[in-house]
Amino acid sequence: MSRDKPKVLEVKHVKTRIKMESKEYAIIEEIDFHVDSKETVGIVGESGCGKSMTALSIMGLLPENASVSEGEIRLQGTNLLTISKDAYRKKRGKEMSMIFQEPMSSLNPVYTIGFQLIELLREHTTMSKAKAKKKAIEMLQTVGIPRPHEVIDEYPHQLSGGMRQRVMIAMGLACNPDILIADEPTTALDVTIQAQILELMKRLQEQFDMAILLITHDLGVVAEVCDRVIVMYAGQIVEEAPVLTLFESPNHPYTKGLIASTPKIGEGKERLHTIEGTVPQLSEMPKGCRFATRCSEVTERCIRESPPLVELSEQVRCRCWLYPKTSGVSV
Amino acid sequence: MENTTLVKENVPGSLPLSIQQPRTSPLREFIKHFRRNRLGVIGLFGILALLLLAVFAPAISDRPTGYGDVTNMLQPPNAQYWFGTDSVGLSIFDQVIWGTRVSLYVGLTSAVISILIGVPIGLLSGYYGGRVSHIGMAITDIFLTLPVLPLMIIMAAVLGTGISNIAIIIGLFSWPQIARVTRAETLAIREKQYIEAARAIGTKESKIIFRHVLLNAFPPILVNMTIIMGTSVLSEAGLSFLGLGDPMSWSWGTILQNAHSTGVIIHAWWLALFPSIAIVVLVLSFNFLGIGINEALNPRLRKR
């Protein structure tokens, strides 16, 4: 994890705004992170904290009423926010891919698996139809689909959820992207299938030399596959740390709460810890620290002023007044 | 038929190698369910029968022109003239057969025209929303509020009473329904995850709209197309009855108009009855076909 690794993705001070009922709200703010090549970075947080919006901002797939208003998103050094729409589109599926939560509805029901894979390959490469078909079968085989020669002529409804997620992964990887963004890829699957899919993603990461940005609310998944973790709360990064560090010594009260609310084997005697309350509404975002309303260690300063994201040690950053800038620079 | 079939070679002591599912494409599924739908099949056969009549009209009967058998004017149905004769001795049977051509032509042409106008407007305003949608839907709403019949009469009078003109005029006034249905479907499909997934792999926007969205929105468009075919045949009959039809070709409305204008309709009931039955059969057939297609495509409407 040394710093001199080439950065595949750099997200710098990104702010995404959404327009609702003629008012503008910032749904994500000061998002600042990077993904090194061949690295797996996890983004965790509860529903509505802006995880998915971060992913969509990077992919350029935000809904019509939302847009990135500040910052830079660099993929292999190219700022995606300044290139043309068409150039952006050409990068999707080729240099960056995304897989979604719902494999059941991610494939177009009226086209065969083969048609959709071949269409993708022919969009981004100059392959002939026959060659694209061969490659499509090869990809299905790579992601562990049995009898790929037959599946290629089948329709999405003939496959199970796990199979469809495999097909989605095959589509995501068909053009050998530099980074795969996976938005809750295992949430809709059975636990046994979840493990298979995670294992597959890990294996393919090595095979295809790509980086993965994994978005999830499941700390178990994070512990399993990620190298580094970013914890988000209410549209901001509240903590960032290598995965082991995060689980062993979490800093931010929110991270502590999250880890405490995860059930552990052999400790089933007490009630599971919960963080009281919910993420504040966009229209009622507190002036100070956004977690102040639910924090157990809240001080007066937290309500008054918003804390900066502070580097505590190498690769560890935290946004909390409990950790004054003793050993780092404010970001 | 749709049960899973085991691989034949089932050697004792060994398990079957695989359980094969029959190949099912959406089209096969559709045919399977459509065949079970009685109304739909009746409608389909009705339309096929009318199509055959229209195609083979020259073989079945002579084209009625000028004066017919003047010694047999206003004959009621009999062995020689199955549907009777009119006031100039022409066979009503021949007129009805030849009228099938005109009616089907008008139905198909106006349905195609309304698809060509309605589908793009509905697709684009549904997919892009915002200003595009406002403009598209404003035009659609304006067309829906227009007093259609007077305008059709005026246009028919201005353009001249050719049968193609009639078809075009009817088509120009039937598309708003298609546009609305297409837009409603597009609005739902646009939000589907497979559309987002298609965007995420860099599919061109035009491809997303015209391949991914359109094909999924197709079933209700098809159903509405059959309904439009039925109503445009009705409109054509109405226009012809008002004397705005093509005097050079026989349509069912023209037969009714002749019966009305010569004032014999009170005495000669067969002049009105047979073309009316033809109109009813055709419109019902199209509607039944529409019902059949709809039920075959929509699992919730399927009866077991």
Nearest-angstrom CA–CA distance, A181 and B206: 25
Chain A residue numbers with beta carbons less than 8 Å from the beta carbon of B26 are 109-110, 155
pLDDT tens-place values along chain A, 331 residues long = 445 678 899 999 999 999 988 888 889 988 999 999 999 999 998 888 889 999 999 999 998 889 999 899 999 999 999 999 999 999 999 999 999 888 888 999 889 999 999 999 999 999 999 999 999 999 999 999 999 999 999 999 889 988 999 999 999 999 999 999 999 998 888 888 888 999 999 999 999 999 999 999 889 899 989 999 999 999 999 999 999 999 999 999 999 998 888 877 776 667 778 888 888 888 888 888 999 888 888 888 888 888 988 888 888 999 998 886 554 444 4
Stretch (H or E) spanning A191: helix A191-208
User: Of A131, A56, A120, whose CA–CA distance to A93 is shortest?
Assistant: A120
Q: How confident is the model at residue B24 (pLDDT cuts 50, 70, 90)?
A: low
Beta strands per DSSP E along chain A? 7-20, 23-36, 40-44, 66-75, 78-79, 96-99, 179-183, 211-216, 228-233, 236-242, 310-313, 316-318
User: Of A263, A330, A252, A244, whose CA–CA distance to A294 is shortest?
Assistant: A252
On whether both A148 and A201 belong to a single domain, the answer is yes
Instruction: Return the sign of the alpha-carbon dihedral for residues A256, A257, A262, A265.
Output: positive
The residue ranking higher by pLDDT, A264 or B179, is: B179
On whether both A305 and A180 belong to a single domain, the answer is no
Give the residue from A62, A80, A108 with the most B CB atoms within 10 Å of its CB, the best one to mutate: A108
Q: How confident is the model at residue B287 (pLDDT cuts 50, 70, 90)?
A: very high
pLDDT value of position B11: 39
Q: Does residue A246 belong to any structural domain of this protein?
A: no
Stretch (H or E) spanning B5: strand B5-6
Chain B contacts in chain A segment 185-244 (CB below 8 A): none
pLDDT value of position B135: 95
On whether both A283 and A221 belong to a single domain, the answer is no
Q: How confident is the model at residue B303 (pLDDT cuts 50, 70, 90)?
A: low
Query: Is B201 close to A91, i.e. CB distance below 8 A?
Result: no
Nearest-angstrom CA–CA distance, A234 and A224: 25
Instruction: Return the sign of the alpha-carbon dihedral for residues B289, B293, B298, B302.
Output: positive
Closest CB to A123 among B26, B203, B216: B203
Q: Which domain holds residue B192?
A: 34-54+83-301
Q: Does residue A249 belong to any structural domain of this protein?
A: no
- Assess B164–A contact: CB distance below 8 Å, yes or no: no
Whichever domain contains B146, its CATH number is 1.10.3720.10
Nearest-angstrom CA–CA distance, B285 and B271: 22
| Residue B18 burial (C-beta neighbours within 10 Å; 0-12, 13-18, 19+) | exposed
Q: Whole-angstrom distance between the N-terminal and C-terminal Cα of chain B? A: 16
Nearest-angstrom CA–CA distance, B95 and B108: 20
Q: Does residue A238 belong to any structural domain of this protein?
A: no
On whether both A183 and A331 belong to a single domain, the answer is no
pLDDT value of position B69: 77
Instruction: Return the sign of the alpha-carbon dihedral for residues B1, B3, B4, B9.
Output: negative
Query: Is B204 close to A89, i.e. CB distance below 8 A?
Result: yes
Chain A residue numbers with beta carbons less than 8 Å from the beta carbon of B204 are 89, 123
The residue ranking higher by pLDDT, B243 or B174, is: B174
> pLDDT tens across B56-65, in order?
988 888 888 7
pLDDT value of position B23: 59
Q: Does residue A248 belong to any structural domain of this protein?
A: no
Q: Does residue B25 belong to any structural domain of this protein?
A: no
DSSP string covering B203-259: --HHHIIIIIIHHHHHHHHHHHHHHHHHHHHHHHHHHHHTT-S-TTS--HHHHHHHH
Q: How confident is the model at residue B76 (pLDDT cuts 50, 70, 90)?
A: confident
Mean pLDDT for B153-164 is 85
On whether both A209 and A280 belong to a single domain, the answer is no
Q: Which domain holds residue A87?
A: 7-233
Q: Both tokens of residue A262? A: 């995860």
Nearest-angstrom CA–CA distance, A136 and A130: 10
Burial of A248-275, coded b for 16+ CB within 10 Å and e otherwise, reads eebbbbbbbbbbeeeeeeeeeeeeeeeb
Q: Does residue A241 belong to any structural domain of this protein?
A: no
* Residue of chain A with shortest Cα separation from B204: A89
Q: Does residue A188 belong to any structural domain of this protein?
A: yes
- Assess B206–A contact: CB distance below 8 Å, yes or no: no
| Residue A328 burial (C-beta neighbours within 10 Å; 0-12, 13-18, 19+) | middle
pLDDT of B8 strictly over 50:
no
- Assess A133–B contact: CB distance below 8 Å, yes or no: no
Contacts for A35 with CB less than 8 Å, ≥ 6 apart? A7, A8, A9, A41, A179, A211, A213
pLDDT value of position B12: 43
Please give the single-letter amino acid code of residue A9: L
pLDDT value of position B302: 66
Count the domains in chain A: 2
> pLDDT tens across B248-275, in order?
788 898 888 888 888 777 788 888 899 9
